[in-house]
């Protein structure tokens, strides 16, 4: 799934950036989507547990954890960059005639990202109503 998303992002930025750095940019936005997926999963687990995951952390530890998340995000970005730099050409060949190419539009990713960010809040609202 992420391979295909990367492929579509790569094509978009290749066209719009006029070849400046499409691999890096698309890897970065892919990392952002992956980060949102992780965020969404952790939030849902933590909401279910009434916030037990971070309950006992002090303010200092919370701040360290936030900075840790940023470092993790950068490492994820680097990993994606090197991972997809190697496989970029292979992915183009693989997805060139993929049936989703006509159905799936890149703007749909914005909807997916917004959904991933807001879904935990919806989940909480549903739990609250029950």
Nearer to other proteins, 65 or 90 (CB): 65
Say what the alpha-carbon torsion angle 92, 100, 9, 15 is, to the nearest 10 degrees: 70
Q: x/- binding map, residues 82-121, to other proteins, per CB under 8 A?
A: ----------------------------x--xx--x--xx
Q: How far is the CB of 91 from other proteins (least distance, A)?
A: 20
Nearer to other proteins, 68 or 94 (CB): 68
DSSP annotation of 54 reads G
28 binds other proteins (CB under 8 A): yes
Q: Are 10 and 22 in contact (CB under 8 A)?
A: yes
Considering only CA atoms, which of 37, 57, 53 is closest in space to residue 45? 53
DSSP annotation of 98 reads -
Considering only CA atoms, which of 105, 99, 115, 101 is closest in space to residue 33? 115
Residues that bind other proteins (CB under 8 A): 12-13, 16-17, 20-21, 24-25, 28-29, 31-32, 35-36, 39, 42-43, 46-47, 50-51, 54-60, 62-67, 69-70, 72-74, 77, 110, 113-114, 117, 120-121, 124, 127-128
């Amino acid at each position: 799934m992420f391979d295909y998303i990367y492929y579509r992002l790569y094509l978009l930025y290749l066209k719009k950036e006029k070849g400046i750095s499409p691999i890096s940019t698309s890897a970065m936005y892919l990392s952002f989507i992956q980060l949102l997926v992780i965020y969404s999963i952790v939030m849902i687990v933590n909401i279910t547990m009434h916030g037990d995951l971070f309950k006992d952390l002090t303010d200092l530890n919370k701040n360290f954890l936030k900075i840790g998340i940023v470092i993790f995000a950068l490492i994820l970005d680097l990993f994606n960059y090197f991972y997809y730099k190697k496989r970029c050409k292979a992915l183009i060949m693989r997805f060139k005639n993929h049936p989703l190419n006509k159905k799936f539009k890149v703007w749909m990713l914005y909807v997916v990202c917004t959904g991933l960010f807001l879904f935990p809040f919806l989940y909480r609202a549903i739990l609250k109503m029950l």
